[in-house]
Amino acid sequence: MSNMKELSNFYIFKSRGFSSFQGLPSHSNFKLMSITESSGFFSLDDTPVKLAGLDILYLNDNQLTDSEAAKLIKALASTSAHSLVEFRLYNNKLTRVPDLLSSLPNIAELSLNNNAITSLSANSLAFKGPISITLNNNQIKTVQPGAFGSLRTTGNFVIIRLNRNNFNHLDYNAFQTVLKEMALTGHGTVELGQVPIMCDCNLAWLLRDNRHLLAHVSYGQCSGESVDFADVGPERFDSCPAA
């Protein structure tokens, strides 16, 4: 297979029992690798395969665990870190954002929806961008400060989809930097549909002190009230301390 100079796309579907990906084409024409609805990655040799021209990697719908995903990413994405622009990891069993993803400097589309991710840790999504990230339908309960990068490292986010997750606070140290970057560039959106955000003093930094940032928040509502963020008056937070 390594001698197939014209091979550009390679699809593996409903396969079982993987041991190695050595021998895949290393030429620059090989652009897309797709492995879907497959299983049996536990014994995979994760020695990196030279795929310097790979642009698109689909690993969705495999019910991958965190350890299996780490093996696949190391084997298939390590040497294509600078060329990858689209990565699909949706419909798996991930409980965290894989560590190696943050080493993909040019990724523009990342899909992690329909997993079991419970927390977004610091710098787990610190991409340079421009990038669109989908995290819908996970089990995210906490978004830690710096999840999208620090003040000096926050990138250019086109859209961050967090719909249908379980966190109930928009932490100032997690969201204000990325929203301010969106306001500065004039584009970008954080989607919060069906996320149970409490409109208490923890949200005063946004709904009282930085209402201009609401232009970059979509579908945000106060939990238990069905009231859009934009319809909550700043006077509601008069007794709240400054952020």
Q: pLDDT, tens digit, for every residue of 153-200?
A: 566 899 999 999 999 999 999 999 999 999 999 999 999 999 999 999
pTM comes to: 0.93
Distances (CA, A) of 180 to 8, 99, 154, 155, 211: 40, 26, 10, 11, 11
Average pLDDT score, the chain = 93
pLDDT at 149: 85
Positive or negative: CA dihedral 222, 132, 32, 70: negative
Cis peptide before 234 (omega within 30 of 0): no
């870190």: which residue's tokens? 81
Give the pair of three-digit tokens for residue 229: 């963020």
Residues 76 and 135 in one domain: no
Residues 131 and 230 in one domain: yes
Does residue 238 form part of some domain?
yes
Residues 130 and 236 in one domain: yes
Considering only CA atoms, which of 140, 141, 213 is closest in space to residue 177?
213
pLDDT at 128: 85
Considering only CA atoms, which of 209, 214, 210, 213 is closest in space to residue 231?
214
Does residue 110 form part of some domain?
no
Does residue 11 form part of some domain?
yes
Residues 77 and 173 in one domain: no
How many Cβ atoms sit within 10 Å of the Cβ of residue 184? 11
pLDDT above 70 for 12: yes
Residues 86 and 200 in one domain: no
- What number is the average pLDDT over the span 221-233? 95
- Three-class SS state of 200: coil
DSSP-derived letter for residue 240 is: S
| Cα gap 85→243, rounded to integer Å | 37
pLDDT tens by residue, 63-116? 999 999 999 999 999 888 899 999 999 999 999 999 989 889 899 999 999 999
Residues 233 and 131 in one domain: yes
pLDDT above 70 for 122: yes
pLDDT at 2: 45
Residues 236 and 167 in one domain: yes
Q: What CATH code is carried by the domain that includes residue 154?
A: 3.80.10.10
Instruction: Say how many domains are in the chain.
Output: 2
The range of the structural domain enclosing residue 20 comes to 1-96
pLDDT at 103: 86
Residues 227 and 127 in one domain: yes
pLDDT at 26: 83
Does residue 74 form part of some domain?
yes
Does residue 109 form part of some domain?
no
pLDDT at 178: 93
pLDDT above 90 for 152: no
The residue out of 96, 128, 155 marking a domain boundary is: 96
Give the pair of three-digit tokens for residue 124: 């787990």
pLDDT above 80 for 150: no
Does residue 15 form part of some domain?
yes
| Cα gap 110→128, rounded to integer Å | 13
Output Rg (C-alpha) for the chain, integer angstroms: 20
CA angle, residues 226, 205, 113, in degrees to nearest 5: 55
| Cα gap 79→128, rounded to integer Å | 19
Residues 127 and 230 in one domain: yes
Percent residues over pLDDT 90 in the chain: 82
Residues 148 and 235 in one domain: yes
pLDDT above 90 for 143: yes
Helical ranges in 62-171 per DSSP H: 66-77
